[in-house]
Amino acid sequence: MPVTLPVTPPVKPMLAKAVKEIPPDRFYEPKWDGFRSIVFVDGDEVVLGSRNERPLTRYFPELVAQFARQFKMPCVLDGEIVVPGEGRRRLEFEWLQQRIHPAASRVNLLSEQTPAEFVAFDLLAIGEENLMDTPLAERRARLVELMKGIESPIHLTPLTDDITVARGWFDEWEGAGLDGIIAKDPASAYQPDKRVMAKIKHTRTADCVVAGYRTHKNDDEAIGSLLLGLYETDGSLSSIGVIGAFPAKRRKELYAELQPLVTDFENHPWSWAGEVAVTEGGARSPRKAEGSRWNNGKDLGFTPLRPELVVEITYDYLEGRRLRHTGQFSRWRPDRDPESCTFDQLDVPSTFDLNEILPAP
């Protein structure tokens, strides 16, 4: 970047730690479900940074053009790249993931088919002035001033200092694809890579069928993750995601406990998964999936289990019909019949139109 900006890439974003309750006496913002990005704007030169400090610039040409066109003052913004759906809009994280593609032709096509938007929530620098040591309350005021006249698809995030309003956002806005509330100290400086904010996310429980496992990356006789399923109305078992993060000792114990339930793909509800298995010495074993931009060669095969175990998990919400994030183990449910584990048990958020929060372009 030109030397006019006092803050230059890469910069690690300030982070949040999870808490159970919305704390008092804070600034409150909605928690956006997108790609975190620190954006550096200096005339026609625009860099979209990421949480892992790898530029996102090439994947979102439509945003680069908007920043270059709309911002006349050099600045550094912290915010979130999101992709809303159409009509009664809601955030579509799966669409956003698809935007990270190695082919320039595909990137350009998706920039037209599923255009991204940017939600700004902090200002790190403006002109030649570094604001990172400035209290948040002043940074927010400067950001509001900077954003005057800026139009969609670039937005200023809503903010309130009223905890009652924040609780209302927490309950209502989930239906638009937002996943909680961020609470910030108005007196705080900007602290890169430090968990000084608080995040409050929705927590739910579900009883799921354990349909298989993957071993730990460092131990073939220890569980890395359990594959979960829920039954559809037609009796089929749908994959909804995984749980993991077991203590080291428990990983090995669990591996031994699950061996009596190991079956083959032909007798498993997910018989389609047999396509990712190969025969080695007469035995069926999962093979390593083809590498892609998503799994980086990660082993996507699994060992199938007879669907007889039920586990209660905690999770935040579903993206479509799958867990948006990895679920967490809560307890075993030997009292539950696996066939009773259906989608009907899940809490579905009320619909909320994202247009009421972010006006469409």
Residues 257-270 have pLDDT tens digits of 999 999 999 889 99
3-state secondary structure of 133: coil
Mean pLDDT of 52-68: 93
On the question of pLDDT at 283 being above 50, the answer is no
pLDDT-derived band at 275 (thresholds 50, 70, 90) equals low
CATH superfamily of 15-202: DNA ligase/mRNA capping enzyme (3.30.470.30)
- Closest among 36, 44, 43 to 10, alpha carbons compared: 36
% of the chain residues with pLDDT over 90: 69
- The reported pTM is 0.77
Give, rounded to a whole angstrom, the gap between the first and last alpha carbons of the chain. Answer: 29
Q: Which residues of 24-41 are buried (b: 16+ CB within 10 A; e: fewer)?
A: eebbbbbbbbbbbbbbbb
Whether residue 286 has pLDDT greater than 80: no
Residues catalogued as catalytic: 31
**What's the Rg (C-alpha) of the chain?**
23
Q: How far apart are CA 131 and CA 135, in angstroms?
A: 8
What pLDDT sits at residue 240? 93
Domain ranges of the chain: 15-202, 204-344
Q: How confident is the model at residue 215 (pLDDT cuts 50, 70, 90)?
A: very high
Per-residue model confidence as pLDDT tens digits over 223-260: 999 999 999 999 999 999 999 989 999 999 999 999 99
At residue 195, does pLDDT exceed 90? yes
Burial class (CB in 10 A: 0-12, 13-18, 19+), 117: buried
Q: Compute the mean pLDDT over every residue in the chain, rounded to the nearest whole number.
A: 88
> Domain 204-344's class?
mainly beta
